[in-house]
């Protein structure tokens, strides 16, 4: 039996992709999982799928960009499943394009979801965790916050903010028994990536060639690390930023022989 069995979790942006895989993996470990998505139908469809697999899950629609929604999401999980043990801040949006042409709206939306959403949901969670002197927060960043990328300035900047937010909150929460860690995915195989690469005319094999490990990450690669961060075994592990990327963020063409 996992030490996560019976504990409550909330995963934002869990209607698809990494968030969905993470929510499923946590539920398979016995956690009672609140599945958040801004699209109510997507959240409910995911929960129906999980329940058909014998997993315990609850659909929790809401926008991470609204303080009232963030508080309501945490309250709903606790009302249904008991004290919140784990918050996974996964919800995010991607934007790209030349900086000179980037709209103010695109910048604001990226920061509102990717950075402000992490703050609002974390704030709602720690208000419940601090009195109990225990809890876990895992923020999903990106290697885009660790390296530089051309024409992705809003996304890279927002994910860099998530990384440093995680470190700062980890120090503040350490005396309260609450750990805060940040997982930074590299390129990960999802249906969305397949579609976007086709739209941009970039073959997937060209993207894979940028990864020293020779393959893209699978959604499950990230989900398993989240579960470890949530476990009792990781109780003294906090403020860490871990890239799950097959060494992609370390790779430079001039430093490796093929």
Question: Is the separation of the CB atoms in 194 and 208 below 8 Å?
Answer: no
CB neighbourhood size of 243 (10 A): 21
- The two tokens of residue 103 are 């709209």
Q: Which of 209, 215, 205, 211 is nearest to 247 (CA)?
A: 211
CB-facing half-sphere around the CA of 74: CA atoms within 13 A: 25
The C-alpha angle 95, 100, 106, rounded to 5 degrees, equals 30
Confirm whether 251 is a catalytic residue. Answer: no
Residue with tokens 């980037």, as numbered in its chain: 102
Question: Is the separation of the CB atoms in 159 and 140 below 8 Å?
Answer: no
Beta pairing partners, 37:
61
Give φ, ψ of 32 to 5 degrees: -100, 115
Q: Which helix (H) or strand (E) holds 180?
A: strand 178-185
Q: Which of 155, 163, 165, 178 is catalytic?
A: 155
**Annotated active-site positions, please?**
155
């Amino acid at each position: 039996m996992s030490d996560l069995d019976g504990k409550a979790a909330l995963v934002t942006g869990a209607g698809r992709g990494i968030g969905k895989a993470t929510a499923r993996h946590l539920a398979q470990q016995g956690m009672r999982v609140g599945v958040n998505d801004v699209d109510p139908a997507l959240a409910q469809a995911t929960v129906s799928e999980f329940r058909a697999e014998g997993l315990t899950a609850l659909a929790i629609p809401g926008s991470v960009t609204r303080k009232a929604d963030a508080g309501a999401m945490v309250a709903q999980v606790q009302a249904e499943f008991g004290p919140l043990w784990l918050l996974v801040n996964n919800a995010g949006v991607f934007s790209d394009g030349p900086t000179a042409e980037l709209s103010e709206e695109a910048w604001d939306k990226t920061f509102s979801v990717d950075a402000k959403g992490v703050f609002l949901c974390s704030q709602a969670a720690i208000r419940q965790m601090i009195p109990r002197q225990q809890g876990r927060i895992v923020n999903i960043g990106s290697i885009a916050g660790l390296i530089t990328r051309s024409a992705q300035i809003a996304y890279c900047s927002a994910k860099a903010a998530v990384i440093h937010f995680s470190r700062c909150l980890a120090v503040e929460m350490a005396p309260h028994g609450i750990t805060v860690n940040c997982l930074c995915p590299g390129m990960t195989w999802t249906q969305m990536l397949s579609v976007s690469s086709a739209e941009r005319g970039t073959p997937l094999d060209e993207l894979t060639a940028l990864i020293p490990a020779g393959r893209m990450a699978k959604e499950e690669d990230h989900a398993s690390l989240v579960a470890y961060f949530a476990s009792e075994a990781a109780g003294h592990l906090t403020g860490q930023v871990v890239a799950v990327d097959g060494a992609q963020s370390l790779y430079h063409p001039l430093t490796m022989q093929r």
